[in-house]
Amino acid sequence: MGLFKNRLGELLPGWKVILAIVLVVIFALVATNLISLVISLSLLVFGYSVVDFQANYFFMAIISQTGFLLGSLFAFKIFFRRPFRDIGLHRSKNSLSQMAIGLVFGAVSISSVYFVLLLSGHIEVIEVSFKNSNDLLVGLILFLVVGFSEEVLFRGYIMHVIDIFKKPWATVFFSSVLFSLAHIGNPNLTTLGLINIGFVGILFAQMFIKTKSLWMPIGYHITWNYFQGNILGLPVSGLDTSSIISSQVVKHDILSGGAFGPEGGLIVTFIIGLGFLFLKKITSSVNL
């Protein structure tokens, strides 16, 4: 077995992961710069200012995450030479129910965290307003793309590289560690925040293994982020968003997660733990 290939002449899993990450970064950078240039030039042609567009973090993030998703799919195509549906995006009679369960599961989970923090006095409501409707729509689009892009790479692609069905625990651990480390540049990151992101990555991986598709983890990922940020007004992995409910953390401790948001607190650890019990119950009682 060589440095790059195994005895069968196949590229080693580690290189497949590294090269996929390189492709993802390249696609994200190209998409961000190219699409941004096209939109900026179009705005200038019609006499609009490009300053607000280029300064809008969320628009740029949507473009970047779209490149992230395309890079992951491209890596899967060139290294596995299989249809995109085989990454975990195949359609079946259970696809819709899996997505629906994931969406409700994620929304209920983060809402439970919110109400525990609210009732315990760790956060308080400052204002409830629907005035930022455009921002809410942009946030929804962003978290839709994030849900797809991160699950396709960290669960779909990486878990296939390590062989999801022959080495389930190796794939779960490795993909979850990489998922956690991908957030290492986020603002106000804490050690517990990294652990919790890895922990929920394990939950996503278990959803993937039990349903043999990405629909449930994608659904959970979307509503967890969207409700946390754009509905409940809490930082999403350290990032602030416009929201319907303006919330303020008044107790910065190990329960609330402080400036990083609830993902840096023990309440989230507990709720994710309960998520494993719910997943076991739902997959044993419902044909998914």
- Total domain count, the chain: 2
Calculate the alpha carbon distances from 261 to 186, 210, 235, 256 in Å. Answer: 11, 29, 5, 7
How would DSSP label each residue in 199-213? HHHHHHHHHHHHHSS
The answer to whether 234 and 164 are in contact (CB under 8 A) is no
Do residues 74 and 109 share a domain? no
The answer to whether 229 and 235 are in contact (CB under 8 A) is yes
Do residues 232 and 169 share a domain? yes
The residue range of the domain holding 200 is 89-285
Do residues 155 and 103 share a domain? yes
The answer to whether 135 and 68 are in contact (CB under 8 A) is no
The residue among 112 and 53 whose pLDDT is bigger is 112
Do residues 54 and 154 share a domain? no
Do residues 55 and 96 share a domain? no
Q: What is the pLDDT of residue 54?
A: 47
Q: Which of 54, 81, 108 is the last residue of a domain?
A: 81
Do residues 245 and 119 share a domain? yes
Do residues 61 and 177 share a domain? no
What's the whole-model pTM score? 0.91
Do residues 35 and 135 share a domain? no
Structure confidence at residue 2 as a pLDDT band (50, 70, 90): low
Q: Which of 81, 115, 149 is the last residue of a domain?
A: 81
Do residues 267 and 203 share a domain? yes
Q: Which of 28, 62, 81 is the last residue of a domain?
A: 81
H or E segment to which residue 116 belongs: helix 95-119
Q: Provide the percentage of residues in the chain whose pLDDT is more than 90.
A: 65
Do residues 262 and 176 share a domain? yes
Give the pLDDT mean for 190-201.
97
Q: What is the pLDDT of residue 81?
A: 87
Do residues 145 and 93 share a domain? yes
Tell me: pLDDT of 187 over 90: yes
Tell me: pLDDT of 118 over 60: yes
User: Poorest-confidence range of 118-127, 244-253, 278-287?
Assistant: 278-287
For the chain, give the mean pLDDT. 89
What lies within 8 Å, CB to CB, of 228 at 6+ separation is 110, 114, 234, 235, 236, 261, 262, 263
Each residue's pLDDT tens digit, 63-83 = 899 999 999 999 999 988 889
H or E segment to which residue 112 belongs: helix 95-119
Residue type, 19: L
Burial 39-58 (b: 16+ CB within 10 A, else e): ebeebeeeeeeeeeeeeeeb
The answer to whether 241 and 187 are in contact (CB under 8 A) is no
Do residues 123 and 251 share a domain? yes
Tell me: pLDDT of 244 over 80: yes
The answer to whether 260 and 236 are in contact (CB under 8 A) is no
